[in-house]
Amino acid sequence: MSLSLYSNYRQRQLEALLEISRALTSRLDLPSLLRTILGYAAEMVRAEVGYVALTTSQHTLRLTTGYGLPSDVFHALAPYLAQKSPAGEFWTETELRRQLKIVAETTGLALEQVVALPLVLADEEIVGGIFLFRSGSVAFTPGDRSLLRDFADQAAIAVRNARQMEQLREEKARVEAVIENSPNGVMILDPQLRIIVINRALARITGFTQSEARGRPCREVLNLQNISGDHLCLNEQVPPPTGVWYGEGDIIRPGHKRITVGITYSPLFDRHGSLINIIVTVTDITRYREAEELKSTFISVISHELKTPVSLIKGYASTLTRRDAEWDADMVAEIGQVIEEESDRLNHLINNLLDASRLQAGAFKLELDDISLRNLASTVIERFQTQTDRHTFVLDIPPDLPLVRADARRIRQVLDNLFSNAIKYAPDGGEIRVSARVENNHVVVAVQDQGVGIPYEEQNSVFDRFYRVDSSLRRSTQGVGLGLYLVRAIVKAHGGDVWLQSLPGAGSTFYFSLPLTPPTSSHHETMENPATPPRSQS
Ligand code: ADP
């Protein structure tokens, strides 16, 4: 090669390498980069055919890019390379000659020379190879090799970059999937407290869609009330946190249940200590809060309700046993009666509590029989009528009402609770009517009073455990808010339902339904707290 030819050649090589590094930095995708590199490399050593094969995760080779390679050659070569590992022996002359043969035969070209260079990363990992073939008897020289080494290095860099990009993409997709599918609410804020990312769970809690929430200040989306602890998403005046903050609050949306949330704010700083993001995780702690409230209600209600009868019993008992006093028989009888009534009340309360906890433990047994609701209601009325002269009981159940398959003791407990409420919450007296009719394969029983009624907004809650309507009557009547809870549980265990109608100030009607079963033999059966309650056959 003459000197001027050589310097032209050098010049072209430099241009090619420059072009390739430009392509590398302009972030062309890997296939185009490899095509460019391979094209220049082939041109520099005047090869007619060439290809790049990359190492797969199974340590074999995958034909990626071809130069002067018709597609049928591609198809002949690919399966061959797919069995090869780019380990040491792969680069031997014998192996390369084998490839040369395949390529020459399938292209039909008189290819005689082959040169191959592994693509090696800094840590010696072989990520693939460049293969070039040409015709004629002039073999590739060490000079060609050292020239091609530069191209192979560039290709290795392109592969490494592409791999890193792919890893980053995968990592990002993984993090996004974790955030998106987290059962806890998550959002990422910019330093101005605007929402950059919000996940599905948090969107659901706040009532915003993810796209509505994005870009908004977090205080608009996380509209908190009854707050405690440290909060960022309250107003712009809150200074950004320097460490992790925790706060709790309620999210109240019209027409939805109140949700109590615990919120952790974790700031993210860059290397220079500037705030870049704040990661906010929002956990629904409603159940824990409710359980806590329930516990404290339980303790205060129970201690109050137990205290009254116990102190009455104690007071009367010590009166009775005073040595300095003489009591006549009437007085003793009267005191004895109070003690008995108060003990009954204690007993009733304890039974209710036991039933409630049995219910929770899933150990609620029903002993089923064919029972007459009319007879049952009439017995209960008889007993209650002795306790009040302000209320009039009306039994409005037709004698031919079909029998229902139910636990007589439990249904009696239901009627007991409904009647005692009808009395308690109608302090001025009035009529208390119990009626029953058959409707859609069920018997529906109604207990109607002319009492104080229940405010509309509380009608859904009265069946909840320990729920008592907040009124002056609440303080003057005894009760712990378990009666209707047990009523509902018993009726549901029978496969029925409970509901109410009430006009505040005018009275309430409580309904319960029990499924009617076709008459069967009247043997006695026992049912363990049924997961699927007995259903009427329809
Ligand atoms: P308790 O009577 O022990 O408070 P319940 O579970 O039986 O508990 O009733 C829950 C609440 O529902 C009562 O505190 C009362 O406020 C309301 N309530 C129940 N029955 C009636 C009724 N017949 N009339 C008006 N309010 C009622």
Please give all residues whose beta carbon lies within 6 A of any atom in ligand 1, as ranges: 417, 421-422, 425, 449, 451-454, 462, 467-469, 474, 479-485, 508
Atom of ligand 1 nearest to the CA of 484: 6
Q: To test the ligand 1 pocket, which listed residue (297, 459, 461, 469) has its Cβ within 8 A of the most ligand atoms?
A: 469
CB 282 within 8 A of CB 222: yes
Atom of ligand 1 nearest to the CA of 453: 25
How many angstroms does the Cα of residue 250 sit away from the middle of ligand 1? 27
How many angstroms does the Cα of residue 416 sit away from the middle of ligand 1? 13
Rounded Cα gap, residues 123 and 160, in angstroms: 11
**Tokens 């592969």 -> residue:** 159
Find residue 447's DSSP bridge partners: 434, 510
Q: Whose CA is nearest to atom 20 of ligand 1?
A: 421
What is the CATH code of the structural domain delimited by 182-284?
Answer: 3.30.450.20
How many angstroms does the Cα of residue 463 sit away from the middle of ligand 1? 9
Domain 291-361 has CATH 1.10.287.130: yes
Residue 140 DSSP class: P
Q: Whose CA is nearest to atom 16 of ligand 1?
A: 469
pLDDT truncated to tens, each residue of the chain (538 aa)? 566 666 777 788 788 888 888 877 776 788 888 999 999 999 989 999 999 999 998 899 999 999 998 887 888 888 888 888 888 788 888 999 999 999 999 888 999 999 999 999 988 889 999 999 999 999 999 988 988 998 899 889 888 988 888 899 999 999 999 999 999 999 999 999 999 999 999 999 999 999 999 999 999 999 899 888 888 888 767 677 778 999 999 998 888 888 999 999 999 999 998 999 999 999 999 989 888 887 887 787 777 778 888 888 999 889 888 888 788 889 889 888 889 988 988 888 888 888 877 776 666 788 999 999 999 999 999 989 988 899 999 999 999 999 999 999 999 999 999 999 999 999 999 999 999 999 999 999 999 999 999 999 899 899 988 888 877 777 677 778 888 988 998 999 899 999 999 999 999 999 999 998 655 544 445 555 443 333 333 3
**Tokens 């948090």 -> residue:** 202
Rounded Cα gap, residues 107 and 259, in angstroms: 72
Strands 275-284 and 259-269: antiparallel
Rounded Cα gap, residues 523 and 253, in angstroms: 52
Regarding pTM above 0.85, the answer is: no
CB 78 within 8 A of CB 67: no
CATH of 3-174, one of 2.60.210.10, 3.30.450.40, 2.60.120.260, 3.30.470.20: 3.30.450.40
How many angstroms does the Cα of residue 462 sit away from the middle of ligand 1? 7
How many angstroms does the Cα of residue 425 sit away from the middle of ligand 1? 7
How many angstroms does the Cα of residue 279 sit away from the middle of ligand 1? 46
Residue spans per domain, the chain: 3-174, 182-284, 291-361, 365-526
* Encoded tokens for 20: 């390739």
Helix, strand, or coil (residue 69): coil
Domain 365-526: top CATH class: alpha beta
Atom of ligand 1 nearest to the CA of 485: 6
CB 434 within 8 A of CB 398: no
Check if 3-174 and 182-284 are the same fold.
yes
